[in-house]
Structure 1
Amino acid sequence: MQDHKEPLSIALVQADLHWENVTANLATFEEKIAALAEPADVIVLPEMFNTGFTMNTALAEPMNLTTTRWMKQVAAQTNALVIGSFAVKEGGKFFNRLLCVRPDGTYTQSDKRHLFRMGEENDHYTAGSTRLTVEWKGWKLCPLVCYDLRFPVWARNLQSDPYDILLYVANWPARRAHAWSTLLQARAIENQCYVMGVNRVGTDGNGLEYRGDSVALDYLGEPLAMLASQETEKIVHISKDELLTYRRNFPALSDADDFEIIVEV
C-alpha cells in the first residue's frame, strides 16, 4: 500500500456509450480522461464501459487483451487507479468483471455478484463469489457493480475488514432513478463511508434510457457532487481525517451485528 495521501481525489466519468463498439468507447473515454481538469488518484468508469450493458457474449474478451491493456495504459499515463467493468471470457464462461488497475500494470479483479435476471444477465454470465477490497494511497475501497447496490448484506462494512469508500459502477436505467439515488444514500449512511456511484447516460441498443445521476456522497449520505444527466467528468476530493473523526464521534459500526457471508458456488 502506498503512503497515505490527503485528501484523495476521485474522478467520476459519466458518458454516453456507443452500443457494442469497443473501439469507439475506448476512444471516447480516452478523450474524457485527458480532459480532466486536474490529476486524479482514482478514475471511475461505468459498468461495461466498453460495450454498454449487452448480453452479446461474442463481445467478451479474454483477459489481458484490448480493454485490459487499455486500462493499464490509462493507469500508467495518469498515475491513477482506474476502475471499470467489462465482459470477460474465461474458462468457457462469461463474467461481468470489474478491474482495479494500478499505474504499474498490476490489478485486482472481482466478478459481479448479483446478476440482473430481469435483463437475463444470469442466463449469459456467471456470478462472482468473492467481495473485493482494494488498498490505494492509504485508503481501502470496496468496488461493486450496478445491481449489487440492491443487496446491503453484500456491501456491509464489517469490522473484520472495514473499508473507507464504497464504489458502484453501473448501467442503471432512468426508469429506476429514484431507487438508484435512494439506495446509494442508504449505503453511505449505514456503512459510515464515502459512496461513489458512476452511471452512464443516453440510450442503449435495447432502447433503455439512462439519465446518469452519478454522485459522490459523504459518510452522512450528503452529496459532494451530483452529475445530473449530461456527459461530464467531475473530480471529488475526500478527507480521511474527517471520515475517521466522524466514526470516532458516532461509532455506530461498533454496534453492528457480527455475521459471515457464506457464498454457494
Structure 2
Amino acid sequence: MLKIGLIQLAVMEGRCQENMLHIKELAKKYAKDDVDLLCFPELCVSGYDFEKAQHCANEAEFFSELARECNTAIAAGIHVEEEGRHYDAACLFDETGTLLGEYRKIHLWDKECEFFERGDSLLVIPFKGWKIGLLICADMRFFEISTPLKNMGADVILYPSAWIAGWKELLHLCGRMRAAENQIYTIALNRASGDVAYCGGTALMGPDGSIRSMLDHDQEAYLEVVLEKSQIQAARNALEWESLKFSEIYQKYDQYRFMKRKEI
C-alpha cells in the first residue's frame, strides 16, 4: 500500500513568503510516520504573479529542506529557474530532502506561455515499491503523455493542478479517463480558492476509472488516500482492454495528427 496526504492549498498569488510559511505550517501538521508522501498543488509558492515569482527564494531548496525537517517525502508544483529560463515544474523529494525527480510542464495554458518554457520529457519515479508519474494540470487532457507513462511502468500519475472555478466536472472526467484507459491510479490535486477562485475538487481515481475519494468543495483542506497494488491488477483482470489494442492501425493515422500540426 501507499498512503498519500493531499493538501488542497489556498495560494495567495505572488506572496511567496506568506505561502511558504503556510506550507511549512501545514507540512508539520500533516507529516506523520504512516504517511508515505505529502503533496502540494501547482505553483504553490509563487502562484501566477510571474513578476514576483522571479524574486522568490529557490522553491526547490525550500521543499528539500522542508522534507528533511519533517522527515517526510514531499511532492509539489513549483516554479524552477535554470540559466534564465523558467519552468512550471513538479518535483518529488524523499524524506532526506533528496530530489528524486523533476517534471517540467508540457501543455502550457494561457498566460503561462508568456513566461514559462515548455518541457519536453517524461519520467517515472521509483518510490517505496511504486512507480510514480508526474504531470501537471492541463496535461491531464492528453492521453498522448499519460499512456507512455503507463507503458514506462507507472502505477499512479500525480497531477498538481490549478483548475479555475467552474471546471470541476471536467477535472474529474479527465482524471477518471486517464485512470481507466491506463488502468492505473490518478490523483487530481487541485488548488483551493484563495485570492483567485479555483474549483478545488481534489480526488483520487481508481484503476477502474471510479472516484475513490474526493474533496467536493473549493476550500482549503486535507485528504488522505491509500493506494493498493492489488486494485490495479483487479481492474486489468476485469477489463482486458490492453489485449484489444491494435497499435499497427493507430500508427497508420498518426500522419494526420502531424499534418494538422504543420498546417497550424
Give the TM bin, normalised by the shorter chain.
Answer: 0.7 to 0.9
Instruction: Specify the alignment match of 1:83 in structure 2.
Output: 75
Q: 2:21 aligns with which of 27, 33, 37?
A: 27
CA 1:257 to 1:78, structure 2 compared with 1: closer, same or farther past 3 Å? farther
Return the index of the structure with the highest Cα Rg: 2
Q: Structure 1 CA distance, aligned partners of 2:138 and 2:149?
A: 20
**Structure 2 residue matching 1:162: 3-state secondary structure:** coil
**Cα distance between partner residues in 2 of 1:89 and 1:14:** 25
What 5-or-longer segments of structure 1 have no aligned partner?
1-6
Instruction: Report the number of matched residues.
Output: 249
Residue aligning to 2:210: 222
Q: CA deviation at 1:25?
A: 0.9
Q: Is the 8 A contact 2:125 2:133 kept in 1?
A: yes
Report the Cα distance in structure 1 between the residues aligned to 2:3 and 2:228, rounded to whole angstroms. 9
1:104-150 CA distance string (max 9 Å, x none): 3321112101110xx22112110000012111011011111111111
SS in 1 for 2:3: strand
Superposed, 1:1-265 pairs within 5 Å as: 7-36=1-30, 38=32, 39-56=34-51, 58-60=52-54, 66-107=58-99, 108-116=101-109, 119-157=110-148, 160-204=151-195, 208-228=196-216, 229-258=218-247
Of Structure 1 and Structure 2, the greater helix share is in: 2
TM-score (norm 2): 0.85
TM-score (norm 1): 0.85
Equivalents in 1 of 2:15, 2:9: separation in Å? 14
SS class of match (1:126): coil
**1:66: Cα distance to partner?**
3.4
| Structure 2 segments unaligned to the other structure (5+ residues) | none
Q: 3-state SS of the aligned residue for 2:64?
A: helix
Q: Which whole-Å CA distance do the structure 1 matches of 2:113 and 2:149 have between them?
A: 27
Give per-residue Cα distances to partners, 1:58-108, cap 9 Å, x unaligned. 52379xx63222211222234433111222221221111211111233211
Amino acid at match of 1:161: M
Q: By how many angstroms is 1:164 displaced?
A: 0.5
